[in-house]
Every structure is written in structure tokens, then in C-alpha cells.
Amino acid sequence: MNTEVILEFAAVGGLALICFVSVVATAVRLPGTWVIVAAAAGYGWLTEWEYIGGTLIGVLIGVAVFAELLELGMSTLTARKAGASRRAAWGALIGGFVGMFIFSLPLPLIGTMFGALAGCFVGALVAEFTVKGEFVQGAKVGTFSAIGFVLGIVSKIALAMVMSAALVGYAAVASVDAIQTTDEPTVAIDPNPASLAPANAAPPPGSP
């Protein structure tokens, strides 16, 4: 195994490691999907766009945008199913971000997830209570908002895993194909077919 082959597999392995870390980051509400997009662009640039091109990167960007919208929309959608007001939907969204930043300071990873979940619940509850003045309804809306938040995170993690699998799989297959193409033996073809005839070959009949 030559140095070029080792570097090819090392690059794919590094790409896989980055994608794994990105999926974990997505679970704690860090921009893991966008790190995957950046990794794809960086790998494409390092390999002179031989394996990864603009089409794949464009698809990954589209999936990342969809994941963001899905994460934001799930909490609002479930809250509306519980009869939440528009203010409660915004309260859940704002509360999730506030709770995430507050609890991220003492507990960088677990606190981020817990803070976002708690903030989503509290934000929806308080906002709904200011509209209808009913604590039970506010608690119901807050609970549904928290459930939607969890569903949004799970959906985003699943999409991050799909992005990672597509990127690493595509890069691995392209690298193997390139290595096989490089290792294929080349056969030199003599442009003068006459030189292939034996030197002591008998002349054809009728020749002088």
C-alpha cells in the first residue's frame, strides 16, 4: 500500500470523525449540520473537487436548511395543536433560546439541552398565561411545546446522520474508484503494426 492510498483513507477517516462529532453537536443544539456542510466543502477543496462537487454540497445545504426549519417548526406546530396562541408559540421559541444560553454556562453540554427544553416549556406557559390567564391551559401548551422541541431535535439528529452517511459514503466510494483506476496496468500499443511481424516470416505468395 503506497503513501497515496494511505492518505486517501486517512482523509476519509478524518471526514468520518468530523461528521460523528457534528452529529453529537447537533444533539446539544450546536450547528452540527453546518459543520458537515463545511467539512464537505473543505474536503472538496483539498481534493481539488475531484470527488465532491457543487451538486453534493448544494444538496447538503438544502438538507441543513430543512433541518433548521424543522427544528424551529415542530415546537410551534405541537403547541398550536394544543390550542396555543401565537404569543405562546413565540414564547416557546424565545424561551428555548434563553434557557439554552443560561444553562450552557454551568453545564456546557447537558445544560444546553436541558436549558432549551425547560426554557421552551416555561416560555410557552408564561406567554399562554398572559393571554388567557389559565395556568392549566398554559401548562398544557408548555408541555406540548416541550414535546415538539424534543421531536424537532430528534428529527434534526436523524437528518445530520443522513448527511454524514451520504458524505462519507460518497467520499469513500469515490476514493476507492480513484485508487483502482490508478492501479490498473497500462499496456503500450505500438503505432506501427508492421513491427509486430516476425523478422523471418515467409513472404506472401507472388512476391518477388
What digits encode the pLDDT tens for the residues 59-93? 999 999 999 888 878 877 887 777 777 788 788 87
Q: Residue 30's pLDDT is what?
A: 83
Residue ranges in the chain whose pLDDT is less than 50? 186, 188
Q: Are 9 and 187 spatial neighbours (Cβ–Cβ below 8 Å)?
A: no
Question: If DSSP codes are grouped into helix, strand and coil, which group holds residue 199?
Answer: coil
Q: Residue 193's pLDDT is what?
A: 53
Q: Residue 182's pLDDT is what?
A: 55
Q: Residue 5's pLDDT is what?
A: 67
Q: What length does the chain have?
A: 208
Q: Quick one: what percent of the chain has pLDDT higher than 70?
A: 80
E strands, the chain, are none
Question: If DSSP codes are grouped into helix, strand and coil, which group holds residue 184?
Answer: coil
DSSP class of residue 196?
G
Q: Residue 41's pLDDT is what?
A: 92
